[in-house]
Structure 1
């Protein structure tokens, strides 16, 4: 079928794949007009340009070939792939049934109890390892050997016999002569035939490869169990220190983790399995030592199907080792443990898009915005909540999501199923982030969501770690605000929903705050008459500026005054009435009052101010500050001293105690949850750095700069 190449980061069609490093899943095949083949298979609409490592894209129409490589670390760890794929299959059935978006909230974005039980359940290979490992150990310590005929160069006095090969070498090598005689030579060194032990043959190579395969298997299983234990520990820690987190965030998160809080049986199974795997790992460490199977080429490719040999048939140690090899091959071909085939990678890309949609529905619900209506590719779910402007989430056919407020797009969310930090190489991670930054569209702002683990980010240098986790309100310096936001998510991290909700809150608030102050165009005479005596209205060059939300009585008084202006003008002007102008002023004044009333509404508890003149304070430079009478939160609009753009700041429930904290993205998850609009300075908590340019006011004022963020660590 004919297809088009759609660049999901750029948000438009491209003629061919871009050069340089390209993340997995960046390009999408949309229905179109060209015949393309990916790795000799026809490219189909609705699929991603994704493959295991290298890829080749052939354009049948233009006879052009493009090639690339996603690298060895494009796919995340096995357990993340397993969980996200399982979630994706369940969500795919919901999409096929036309299930409403609000019903997606019943599906958890975390690793559920059933998934945990599945990963902690013993596998078939575990029983075979327990039975056959002693035989493998015995074969490695006392392997079968063969004698190989060799010729060693020894002194002539130690040679036991003279062979034709020794004579041939002696005639050609005069340096081996001791003396030259009339009837011949007296040799100094001769080749002496001997036999030596040889271990480098097929059966022993299989043993060496089997040890390496089991080592990789055990390490992978151990990493899975440790991540499950870490998630259960996070759940317990979250439940214990919930009092130190924003209570609204904790209340919602308890809903997600309610089935995991009391899981002592799972903890016991996980601990027992981890201890068994650690003992097995220690046993395999011994078999990987330099004294085991010396001289055997350990990395020789022996295939997967064993050849039937006398040693594997007659020697019990090798027969049991062959049984263990076959068990490993069967496990390698099982679900969740096989190598990443192209079909499996395609399913991973599709599942990660579905998983991101699930995270978005939960993140919106955390902001009191519950998506309603069918949620499917090509559709748009409207969000019900206490917002004056309509909020909706559109799911595009290309696997991206667009968040809109008041009918205007405010944020593009692009799921990129490429594990940016899996390689744990700072240089490679920075290079891949640079490629994302160069390709992402900027209008509206782009948020890239990718699979990433906390331990992988923790091993990166600070300046790279900040770039690998820069949500909308916390760009990485310098100039990080001009790049796309990059957010790691994982079904093993309970804060994935929270950090995504924080970015959505920023996008919605930034769109609303950017409309302050509300401006109304009208002639100067009208502006002076309307603004006379109203401290919430100011005159400007082109009309009126509404700087504070009015109380109902104040709005009613101004609207009566506008109506009076209309009647007087109609009476004394002989050139016709001004009914249209007066009607427009009435409508725009009402709309401006509603817009500023939304600014005066608390972003956290959604309480509407009963006395805006007391809680809302207009400031210089088209900025303001407002407070909530119910929950004590404060929010404001500030102006950046570097880029001169305005940005929102939120202090929820008085948590700004003046304490300076070096907070990267993970620390912000713990301290603020979703209740933040701009990240705090690491030196002075009363200062925030601009989400647009990434600059911090303290970096320009402090004589002795102590901030690790601004200095790069």
Structure 2
């Protein structure tokens, strides 16, 4: 069995010890768990069984932690909703949690409304205290003193079992034990089994629902607190609030937070009530081993009894609410494969949002600083290209588990994009190893992608700074020596700072008359790069560069006080540092501050 590992780019001959859903592509046809044939290049995803059997090979699927299931479900719904917006023609919907999902998940649904009515009317409590029962008769041999009712077979049994005699005389036998009939209440009738299993299923549903509501409430509270935070930079707040504002205004957020809180309290009270019913009364009389099929048998009691008929109604509502959890393995497989496709489309959306500051993308490309930036989808992956050279490759993977150890060392251009559902707080760094958290549940999602893109494109810009244009004709050198911002040494010319338009035109004329065309193009390229470098990357205001003798520079923006340093590192190589308010903290500044090493060959 040949598989292709999307993360490491390696080909496997056989199944790994643990199979991660969505990580592998098939290189040959196979059948998964004997129910779904998979073609070549099909995604190998989990089908909900926890087992991966491809023909004769078997390995377990990695399973997510139980406490992340609510967040995972919310993540799935959000990604699916956003991708649907893209499919309807909205090229740039907000990549944050959609309003439809927040409203749908945060408000009371039909099952919870029905359950509230039934609990308020006391139907379930009435059943718990005064259930319908049946009489169950048993025949057993017991002491004469305990026998209350004899059976039709008592005398026959006594005649044939002398060990039950106390004594025998001419008058007859005096029994010591007799076969007697005992009756007891039978609580395990079908209707009571339905009641008991309904409480079990409601307990499970409400527990999941409570976790989902708590996750949603935490997200709304985080968004509301974020907009009112005093320790974050105002540009970061403005940018993220603009994205959130496409989904919710602050007033709507506060209102939805109250509605979600109300639903949370209601569901919590219902769960407490259901668990109370399981601690007393009828529930304890019905063995847990007695099960009920998904389709109810409509008995007269379940149809007409004033209390039990509400059990049947709740059962139907619960079955409808949990339809997604009752899917066949083939349907689960198809849904997981579609999630990987949707997550790839969502990652592309976040990438396009991050690139908006570099200009609008037309047909996936834009012109910037004499370079052509373009994005391209290659299978599920996304590539960021500069002048048709791949500078960054994003590998979207909707992994619901913690990333395995073998994904922590990848080529520098490859970055895994994954939801990071298991992370509580990851705002101290942009990347976690070789992975980037990309999720609609993360307010910083565009900031993370933007910081990564900014680093890649800043490296492109720095690669050309102070690189000499050579060999320089003498007449061009004479012209260059008189222009501020240019440095001429012998037959080499360096563009170290932005020069006036008139001086730039003079140099271009001199190059056109006295130098080869490629030298003129190289000079034009340096000028356009310096035009970008000479503007503050945070506020876009002009920011003069102060060149250093070693080919580096420093710059301080007079408008927002952003400080930039391009210098030799303490060890080997170079370092670029960009500080806002004197600090480089991602949580505070987002993509507006950064520090990273650069390999420089000149």
**Superposed displacement of residue 298, structure 1:** 3.2
Return closer, same or farther for 1:586/1:136 CA change in 2, 3 Å cut-off.
same
1:46-125 equivalences in 2 (<5 Å)? 48-53=43-48, 54=50, 56=52, 58=54, 65=57, 67-73=59-65, 76-94=71-89, 104-105=91-92, 107-125=93-111
Q: Secondary structure at the match of 1:104?
A: coil
Q: Tell me what 2:170 maps to.
A: none
Q: Tell me what 1:256 maps to.
A: 243
**Superposed displacement of residue 330, structure 1:** 1.8
In 1, are the aligned partners of 2:485 and 2:497 still within 8 Å (CA)? no
1:334-345 equivalences in 2 (<5 Å)? 341-345=332-336
One of 566, 570, 577 as aligned partner of 1:649: 577
Unaligned runs of at least 5 residues, structure 2: 164-174
Return closer, same or farther for 1:87/1:554 CA change in 2, 3 Å cut-off.
closer
Return closer, same or farther for 1:136/1:265 CA change in 2, 3 Å cut-off.
same
Q: Secondary structure at the match of 2:16?
A: coil
**Superposed displacement of residue 586, structure 1:** 5.2
What TM-score, normalized to structure 2? Answer: 0.76
Q: Tell me what 1:393 maps to.
A: 375
Q: Tell me what 1:410 maps to.
A: 391
One of 315, 320, 327 as aligned partner of 1:330: 320
Q: Tell me what 1:449 maps to.
A: 418
In 1, are the aligned partners of 2:232 and 2:589 still within 8 Å (CA)? yes
Return closer, same or farther for 1:547/1:372 CA change in 2, 3 Å cut-off.
closer
Give the whole-Å Cα distance in 1 for the aligned partners of 2:263 and 2:295: 30
**Superposed displacement of residue 489, structure 1:** 1.6
In 2, are the aligned partners of 1:640 and 1:647 still within 8 Å (CA)? yes
**Superposed displacement of residue 286, structure 1:** 0.9
Aligned residue pairs, count? 568
In 1, are the aligned partners of 2:343 and 2:398 still within 8 Å (CA)? yes
The answer as to 2:452 corresponding to 1:503 is: yes
Give the whole-Å Cα distance in 2 for the aligned partners of 1:544 and 1:150: 109
The answer as to 2:264 corresponding to 1:274 is: yes
* Deviation digits for residues 637-691 of structure 1 (CA, Å, limit 9, x no counterpart): 355557x343422112x2439xxxxx7xxxx33x11221223xxxxxxxxxxx67
The answer as to 2:587 corresponding to 1:675 is: no
1:399-438 equivalences in 2 (<5 Å)? 399-420=380-401, 429=402, 432-437=403-408
One of 307, 311, 326 as aligned partner of 1:321: 311
Give the whole-Å Cα distance in 2 for the aligned partners of 1:108 and 1:448: 18
Give the whole-Å Cα distance in 2 for the aligned partners of 1:166 and 1:507: 97
**Superposed displacement of residue 19, structure 1:** 0.8
Q: Tell me what 1:37 maps to.
A: 31
1:119-138 equivalences in 2 (<5 Å)? 119-133=105-119, 134-138=122-126
Give the whole-Å Cα distance in 2 for the aligned partners of 1:199 and 1:216: 23
Q: Secondary structure at the match of 1:256?
A: helix
The answer as to 2:496 corresponding to 1:548 is: yes
Give the whole-Å Cα distance in 2 for the aligned partners of 1:85 and 1:4: 31
In 1, are the aligned partners of 2:508 and 2:520 still within 8 Å (CA)? no
In 2, are the aligned partners of 1:412 and 1:444 still within 8 Å (CA)? yes
Return closer, same or farther for 1:80/1:584 CA change in 2, 3 Å cut-off.
closer
Return closer, same or farther for 1:532/1:320 CA change in 2, 3 Å cut-off.
closer
Q: Secondary structure at the match of 1:9?
A: coil
Q: Secondary structure at the match of 1:486?
A: strand
Give the whole-Å Cα distance in 2 for the aligned partners of 1:493 and 1:535: 43
Unaligned runs of at least 5 residues, structure 1: 95-102, 172-186, 375-380, 421-428, 459-464, 476-482, 568-578, 658-662, 679-689, 694-713
Q: Tell me what 1:383 maps to.
A: 366
One of 19, 39, 63 as aligned partner of 2:16: 19
Give the whole-Å Cα distance in 2 for the aligned partners of 1:545 and 1:151: 111
Give the whole-Å Cα distance in 2 for the aligned partners of 1:505 and 1:7: 28
* Deviation digits for residues 181-229 of structure 1 (CA, Å, limit 9, x no counterpart): xxxxxx9999998555554565444323211221232233334444444
Return closer, same or farther for 1:278/1:561 CA change in 2, 3 Å cut-off.
closer
In 2, are the aligned partners of 1:211 and 1:288 still within 8 Å (CA)? yes
Give the whole-Å Cα distance in 2 for the aligned partners of 1:417 and 1:640: 37
In 1, are the aligned partners of 2:495 and 2:526 still within 8 Å (CA)? no
Give the whole-Å Cα distance in 2 for the aligned partners of 1:311 and 1:677: 70
**Superposed displacement of residue 359, structure 1:** 1.8
One of 211, 214, 233 as aligned partner of 2:199: 211
Give the whole-Å Cα distance in 1 for the aligned partners of 2:214 and 2:471: 66
Q: Secondary structure at the match of 2:561?
A: coil
One of 420, 432, 435 as aligned partner of 1:485: 435
* Deviation digits for residues 583-634 of structure 1 (CA, Å, limit 9, x no counterpart): 6555545544554554444222334445x3xx34455xx6543322443211
One of 6, 9, 25 as aligned partner of 1:8: 6
One of 605, 620, 638 as aligned partner of 2:539: 605
In 1, are the aligned partners of 2:511 and 2:519 still within 8 Å (CA)? no
Give the whole-Å Cα distance in 2 for the aligned partners of 1:166 and 1:589: 119
* Deviation digits for residues 400-454 of structure 1 (CA, Å, limit 9, x no counterpart): 111123433222222211223xxxxxxxx3xx3414325xx414131423252xx
One of 494, 506, 514 as aligned partner of 2:443: 494
In 2, are the aligned partners of 1:601 and 1:608 still within 8 Å (CA)? yes
In 2, are the aligned partners of 1:413 and 1:449 still within 8 Å (CA)? no
1:176-195 equivalences in 2 (<5 Å)? none
Give the whole-Å Cα distance in 2 for the aligned partners of 1:623 and 1:196: 93
In 1, are the aligned partners of 2:2 and 2:14 still within 8 Å (CA)? no
**Superposed displacement of residue 88, structure 1:** 1.6
Q: Secondary structure at the match of 2:391?
A: strand
In 1, are the aligned partners of 2:18 and 2:59 still within 8 Å (CA)? no
Two-structure CA RMSD over aligned residues (Å)? 4.9
* Deviation digits for residues 162-182 of structure 1 (CA, Å, limit 9, x no counterpart): 9899999998xxxxxxxxxxx
**Superposed displacement of residue 265, structure 1:** 4.6
The answer as to 2:358 corresponding to 1:369 is: yes
In 1, are the aligned partners of 2:187 and 2:282 still within 8 Å (CA)? no
In 1, are the aligned partners of 2:391 and 2:456 still within 8 Å (CA)? yes
Q: Tell me what 2:171 maps to.
A: none
In 2, are the aligned partners of 1:235 and 1:260 still within 8 Å (CA)? no
In 2, are the aligned partners of 1:229 and 1:270 still within 8 Å (CA)? yes
